[in-house]
A and B are shown apart, each in its own frame.
Chain A
Amino acid sequence: MAEIILDKVSKSFGSVRVINEVSLTIQSGEFVVFLGPSGSGKSTLLRMIAGLETIDDGRLLIGGKESQTLPPGQRNVAMVFQNYALYPHMTVRDNMAFGLRNIKMAAPEVERRVQDAARMLEMDALLDRRPSELSGGQRQRVAIGRAIVKEPAAFLFDEPLSNLDAALRVRTRVELAELHQRMNSTMIYVTHDQTEAMTMSDRIVILNDCRIEQIGTPMEVYTRPASRFVAGFIGSPSMNFLKGSYKDGAMTLLDGSRIAARVAVPEADTYELGIRPEAVKVCEGEGEGDTKGQVKVVEHLGERTLVHVHLSDGSAIVAQDGGRSPVQPGDEVALRFDISELHLFDASGKAWHAE
């Protein structure tokens, strides 16, 4: 268990800058998720911490020790790979013991650690099997076990659930969260799946275009996104964005409707209004609501219904209704915005939130 500090680290592949002066402090025992779209640099950043990619500039401190020039094996971190990378010719026991034998650890200690990890992950019965004789979920456990036996300062996970089916992914997600609570170890987890990020992490680091967009708890990044990118990236279905201008404490949308917005922004500039589907309600009575439009698609999800509406200027918006919504495609509906959940974004993508 150790604190990890990235101090203005940068990385280029040839002339292409892939990580640009990223600074980040991960507290000891914290579960941090690197989240971002493909090509955002999240895996590269993880691999830089692991030592699998060199750090061109900046410092990396693991447990207070300068580690940017240390070889991967000496950084005291363990990594779980996306494809597990279990050695196919070795048994589960040998896979887990390989790293310990490489540092010439005494055989009884190796065996003790392997047994402890196997017990913790409930795979005692699998120790003499080869990876080809295991299911996807079991391989996943072995990969985690291989990391646990090293008793590292931090665990690094590179999209470890992406090869599992949906049901197993949910179960393993919970198990990983439990494992973190039990071991109380520093964990860095890379994913492009926001559900994994939201459910497992203490803090999420959202990366885009080789730099950090926002660092915050799952609820912070959801309720107070720092930028339009974060607002659009987090949440499913994603946030609605409507163009308009802000004046006299109200946002005028392109269809002419005025939405009262208590947001402290310079007036009269062109803004984009952002609001999540759950903050847009379908009104029952005529004449109610902040704007109106025609229903194009209705998605019944059981406990809730997503209503896709086109406003009179053609802009699309998704509203949320109850599970037994009577709304039908083609209906004219009025929509009411929860103004406490409004966000405004300027041309540069910077966010302002409703007070």
Chain B
Amino acid sequence: MTASSARQINLVGGIITLLTLIIAILWAFPIYWGIVSSLKPENEVVRPYIELWPETLTFEHYIFALTETQIGRWYINSIATAVGATILTISTSMLVGYALSQLRFPLRRPLYWLILASFMVPTQTLIINHFVLVANMGLLNTWAGIILPQLINPVVIIVYKQFFDQVPRDFREAAVMDNAGEFRILFKVYMPMNWGVTTALAIVTFIWSWNSFLWPFLAVTKTEMMTITVGITQVSDAFGVYYASQLAAAVLAGLPVALAYLLFQRRVTQAITLSAGIKG
């Protein structure tokens, strides 16, 4: 390699690094801004110019969010619905993915196409149907009502199908020769062999469910049944919205997800990569 070509590569590398840095700052700034604002007194927040650091540092909004709202209850609701949705989504999607990948039954392909096609339909367009269904089932303002519509998750099914497709057929045949039924093949052979993808999908499903807003916002009207994302909207009174307090509640709401991400960083990245090719 000549000195000039090495310099050229260095220059290109430098530009890419700079661009990545700029994008990272642009992406991270709202989070920084939210955290900083939640540490300012309300009168500083509404000033018409940008202050990157609080003039007066205060935790009063956090104390307010933790003591004057039902945030504890919202946390419980969020944990229960996110954990429930995760367990049910993973277990049902794994079964569907296994059936589509390994079993031969009539209309298998059309069923797969149907699941693929369901991507094209945004959740928002189905939300009225979901609402009517859940209301008719008498499940509004319940955990089950929040969880049920979240279980429709084609990405998880397709990722599972792809992974099960990649397991060499010999393993299935060895298990069949070993007298194993379909459930034993799935739970004793295929699932343990794809443990990594199950963990990754579980984490990412939990995060999706925790962050979901539109459906829980519609399905719940009682304050004590709200999830934390919906609960944030309640941090106001008759005199208007308190931005700093809302931001403090939002920071508290995002904390478990941020923690989960920090703990399982590699798995989350893997899951996002896995689903990225499909979800687009």
Contacts and interface: CB of A to CB of B under 8 A. Distances in A.
Nearest to A75: B177
A85 B171 contact: yes
A81 B177 CA distance: 11
B54 interface: no
Contacts of B192: 87, 89-90
Interface string A183-196: 00000000000000
Given A81-B174, A88-B193, A99-B177, 11 more contacts: A51-B176, A52-B173, A52-B176, A72-B177, A73-B179, A87-B171, A87-B174, A87-B192, A98-B188, A99-B178, A103-B179
B5 to A, nearest CB: 43
A98 B173 contact: no
Contacts of A82: 170
Interface string A69-89: 001111001110111110111
A72 B188 contact: no
A50 interface: yes
A102 interface: yes
Contacts of B108: none
A103 B193 CA distance: 22
Interface string B245-256: 000000000000
B179 A81 contact: no
Contacts of A99: 177-180
A12 B174 CA distance: 23
Interface in B160-202: 168, 170-171, 173-181, 184, 188-189, 192-193, 195
A297 to B, nearest CB: 42
Nearest to B174: A85
A98 B168 contact: no
Contacts of B195: 89
Given A73-B176, A88-B193, A102 B184 contact: yes
Contacts of B171: 85, 87
B172 to A, nearest CB: 9
Contacts of B184: 102
Interface residues of B, number: 18
Contacts of B193: 87-89
A157 B177 CA distance: 13
Most buried by B among A50, A85, A90: A85
Nearest to A88: B193
Interface in B131-173: 168, 170-171, 173
A103 B178 CA distance: 9
A83 B168 contact: yes
Contact of A79 (B177, B180, B188, B189): B177
Interface of A: 50-52, 71-74, 77-79, 81-85, 87-90, 98-99, 102-103, 146
A74 B177 CA distance: 8
Interface of B: 168, 170-171, 173-181, 184, 188-189, 192-193, 195
Report the 4 A-B pairs with minimum CB-CB distance, sorted nearest first: A73-B179, A99-B178, A85-B170, A85-B174
Contacts of A71: 176
A51 B178 CA distance: 12
Nearest to A150: B178
Nearest to A87: B189
A73 B173 contact: no
Contacts of B180: 73, 98-99, 102
B178 A73 contact: yes
Contacts of A52: 173, 176-177
A98 B178 CA distance: 7
Most A Cβ at <10 Å: residue of B173, B174, B180, B181: B174
Nearest to B176: A72
A99 B173 CA distance: 12
Given A87-B189, A87-B193, A89-B193, A102 B179 contact: yes
A51 B180 CA distance: 14
Contact of B173 (A85, A87, A102): A85
Given A52-B173, A98-B188, A102-B184, A85 B179 contact: no
Nearest to A103: B179
6 contacts: A51-B176, A51-B177, A52-B176, A72-B176, A73-B177, A87-B175
Contacts of A88: 193
A353 B152 CA distance: 73
A99 B174 CA distance: 9
A44 to B, nearest CB: 13
A146 B178 CA distance: 9
A187 to B, nearest CB: 15
Contacts of A51: 176-177
Contacts of A90: 192
B178 A83 contact: no
Contacts of A73: 176-180
A81 B189 contact: no
B229 to A, nearest CB: 37
A109 to B, nearest CB: 15
Nearest to B173: A52
A85 B168 contact: yes
Contacts of A102: 178-181, 184
A85 B177 CA distance: 11
Contacts of B181: 102
Nearest to B189: A87
A50 B170 CA distance: 13
